[in-house]
């Protein structure tokens, strides 16, 4: 079998609040049998969730190790709550995993393709090899009318191209239909987002395809989930447009942070004031080290690339600036740390708190945290990285960094402590106890996730981009210093 899937990077996490009894089940005579091609982060979550909702599901992957793990109830990546749901779905007898695509073609009425579309090496375009391969390999095996559904994020026009391709290959010819059903799940909330999405989007070419998708999502639609039924191109575009908007919102507030850095204004107060405007809203308006992960960065690049191919590059040229602002966060963070330690990082001990691209995930793809740690290391700093879940993946990417196995170990004798990923463990750590471990109480909060007041009261010199710097409270004579801080609270930046 030549069917290929992308190498799966490990990652994420989950928190479903749903129990099977609270979800309506699909009507048995209408319920299609489902396959999920590609059991990475998206596919495994989709397969488990659909089985949990009552469908017969077969998950397919070319990686026998991953299939064996899933069949024995082990999720090969970190996603809170998914292991419990996998166990339940396997116990129901409705979920199985296989490497056999012939079996999948025989089994499924609706096939969901969930393989990756990573960024091409040396280009901003998406690499569609895995998607093309999954569709064509399936099509060559299909002998009855079924629906092929893409869930992967793809450039506009892909579904139309794939339709022509599979119809050419399949003995069914024009009978074989392709639909597009983009996924919007966030790592860390993957099951919640799959079982209770904000909306469903069906990109279809016929009423039959719409009916098949309605049958495949019956329990979710029965909850009153908004549904947009549209054409293939619009369905593809919804995903690119949504991720571009989210990335733009983050880069917008980070651009404002640069203005704050030059003017002495406070970006956290600015974000709060902007977010209280209902039309703007506070979500995705958190200033800091910027976005990373396996989706937003590569999706905005691939969208821009596709628009250029279509001759409408000017329409989304701003995404290049969104990307540049985002990358600049990493450089400006390193510059701030260098400045804080006196201009030279050589031999400076850095406690780097976090490696994952965001909390509740072990995903280090395009992780701003790891990039900063690596840049500090390359400038001669001695960097000790601690992440509650992502250390193994981080080590695989950057084996030359030092990895601590606890927060205390990372903090030991640090000259500067840098919060890079806002895990709860870091947000709730006691600054007094932390202060007892380090050599110098200097903290750089790149995610605006710590309380400057608490840290200053514990004698730390607190720094964050886009916020005015206030001199630390002297460590000696701490109780008097705390009082002094309270007296002068009007001078503090928040
Ligand atoms: C994203 C989209 O949210 C999801 O709909 C899509 O299907 C896949 O891509 P995810 O990659 O899991 O999901 O991450 P998300 O929660 O969106 O966060 C993306 C990045 O933005 C993270 O690095 C996060 O730290 C950063 N971020 C988020 C900010 O810097 N500021 C914010 O206000 C919000």
Q: What is the mean pLDDT of residues 272-290?
A: 98
Residue from 274, 291, 364 to probe ligand 1 pocket by mutation (most atoms less than 8 Å from CB): 291
CA distance 65 to 63: 5
Cα–Cα distances in angstroms (integers) from residue 421 to residues 44, 97, 373, 413, 448, in the given order: 25, 34, 11, 21, 10
Residue from 15, 199, 246 to probe ligand 1 pocket by mutation (most atoms less than 8 Å from CB): 246
Structure tokens at 347: 């031999």
Structure tokens at 84: 């419990």
Catalytic residue check, 494: no
Residue 420 near residue 464 (C-beta atoms within 8 A): no
Residue 429 near residue 408 (C-beta atoms within 8 A): no
- Please state which of the ranges 16-20, 295-299, 388-392, 463-467 shows the lowest mean pLDDT: 16-20
- Ligand 1: atom nearest CA of 286 is 33
Closest residue CA from atom 18 of ligand 1: 291
Determine the pLDDT at residue 473.
Answer: 66
Closest residue CA from atom 16 of ligand 1: 186
Cα 291 to averaged position of ligand 1 atoms, centre (Å)? 6
Residue from 250, 283, 302 to probe ligand 1 pocket by mutation (most atoms less than 8 Å from CB): 250
Cα 151 to averaged position of ligand 1 atoms, centre (Å)? 18
Closest residue CA from atom 1 of ligand 1: 186
- At the topology level, CATH places domain 20-230 in Rossmann fold (3.40.50)
CA distance 176 to 217: 20
Position 223 pLDDT exceeds 60: yes
The set of protein residues with a Cβ atom below 6 angstroms from ligand 1 is 183-187, 243, 246, 250, 284-286, 288, 290-293, 295-296, 357-358
Cα 72 to averaged position of ligand 1 atoms, centre (Å)? 31
Position 481 pLDDT exceeds 70: no
**Percent of the chain residues past pLDDT 90, beyond the cut:** 88
Structure tokens at 134: 């999954």
Cα 34 to averaged position of ligand 1 atoms, centre (Å)? 29
- Ligand 1: atom nearest CA of 447 is 30
**Percent of the chain residues past pLDDT 70, beyond the cut:** 91
Question: Which CATH architecture fits 235-494?
Answer: 3-Layer(aba) Sandwich (3.40)
- Ligand 1: atom nearest CA of 299 is 9
Of the two residues 86 and 171, the one the predictor is more confident about is 86
Quickly list H helices, 92-189.
101-107, 129-139, 158-169
Determine the pLDDT at residue 28.
Answer: 83
Q: What is the mean pLDDT of residues 265-293?
A: 98
* Burial category of 422 from C-beta neighbours within 10 Å (exposed 0-12, middle 13-18, buried 19 and up): buried
Closest residue CA from atom 22 of ligand 1: 291
Question: Which 8-state DSSP code applies to residue 363?
Answer: -
What residue ranges of the chain are covered by domains with CATH 3.40.50.720? 20-230, 235-494
Determine the pLDDT at residue 475.
Answer: 53
102-154 confidence digits (pLDDT tens): 999 999 999 999 999 999 999 999 999 999 999 999 999 999 999 999 999 99
pLDDT band at 474 (very low <50, low <70, confident <90, very high): low
* Burial category of 440 from C-beta neighbours within 10 Å (exposed 0-12, middle 13-18, buried 19 and up): middle
- Please state which of the ranges 14-23, 50-59, 187-196 shows the lowest mean pLDDT: 14-23
Cα 289 to averaged position of ligand 1 atoms, centre (Å)? 12
Determine the pLDDT at residue 24.
Answer: 67
- What are the two backbone dihedrals, phi and then psi, of residue 386, each rounded to the nearest 5 degrees? -130, 130
């Amino acid at each position: 079998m030549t069917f290929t899937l992308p190498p799966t990077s490990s990652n994420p996490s989950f928190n479903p609040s749903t129990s099977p009894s609270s979800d309506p089940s699909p009507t048995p005579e209408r319920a299609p049998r489902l396959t999920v091609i590609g059991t990475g982060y998206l596919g495994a979550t989709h397969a488990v969730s659909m089985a949990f909702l009552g469908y017969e599901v077969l998950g397919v992957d070319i990686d026998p190790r991953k299939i064996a793990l899933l069949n024995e109830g082990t999720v090969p990546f970190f996603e809170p709550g998914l292991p419990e749901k996998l166990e339940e779905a396997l116990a129901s007898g409705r979920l199985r995993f296989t490497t056999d695509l012939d079996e999948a073609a025989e089994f499924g009425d609706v096939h969901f393709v969930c393989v990756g579309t990573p960024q091409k090496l040396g280009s901003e375009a998406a690499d569609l090899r895995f998607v093309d391969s999954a569709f064509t390999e399936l099509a060559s095996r299909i002998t009855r009318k079924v629906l092929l559904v893409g869930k992967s994020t793809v450039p506009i026009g892909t579904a139309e191209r794939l339709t022509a391709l599979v119809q050419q290959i399949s003995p069914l010819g024009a009978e074989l239909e392709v639909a597009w059903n983009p996924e919007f799940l966030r790592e860390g909330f993957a099951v919640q987002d799959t079982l209770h999405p904000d909306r469903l989007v069906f990109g279809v070419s016929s009423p039959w395809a719409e009916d098949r998708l309605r049958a495949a999502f019956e329990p979710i639609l029965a909850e009153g989930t908004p549904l947009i039924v549209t054409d293939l191109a619009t369905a593809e575009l919804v995903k690119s447009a949504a991720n571009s908007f989210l990335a733009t919102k983050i880069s917008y507030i980070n651009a404002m942070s640069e203005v704050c850095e030059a003017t002495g204004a406070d970006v956290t107060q600015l974000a709060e004031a902007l977010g209280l405007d209902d039309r703007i809203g506070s979500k995705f308006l958190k200033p800091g080290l910027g976005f990373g992960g396996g989706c937003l960065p590569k999706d905005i690049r691939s969208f821009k690339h596709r628009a250029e191919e279509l001759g409408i590059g000017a329409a989304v040229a701003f995404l290049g600036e969104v990307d540049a602002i985002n990358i600049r966060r990493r450089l400006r963070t390193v510059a701030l740390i260098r400045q804080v330690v006196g201009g030279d990082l050589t031999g400076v001990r850095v406690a780097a708190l976090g490696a994952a691209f965001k909390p509740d995930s072990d995903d280090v793809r395009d992780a701003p945290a790891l990039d900063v740690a690596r840049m500090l290391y390359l400038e001669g700093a001695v960097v000790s990285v601690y992440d509650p879940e992502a250390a193994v993946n981080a080590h695989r990417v950057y084996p030359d960094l030092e990895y601590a196995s606890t927060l205390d170990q990372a903090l030991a004798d640090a000259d500067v402590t840098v919060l890079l990923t806002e895990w709860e463990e870091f947000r709730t750590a006691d600054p007094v106890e932390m202060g007892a471990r380090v050599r110098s109480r200097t903290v750089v909060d790149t995610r605006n996730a710590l309380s400057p007041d608490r840290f200053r009261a514990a004698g730390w010199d607190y720094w964050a981009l886009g916020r005015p710097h206030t001199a630390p409270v002297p460590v000696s004579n701490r109780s008097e210093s705390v009082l002094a801080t309270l007296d002068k609270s009007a001078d503090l930046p928040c």
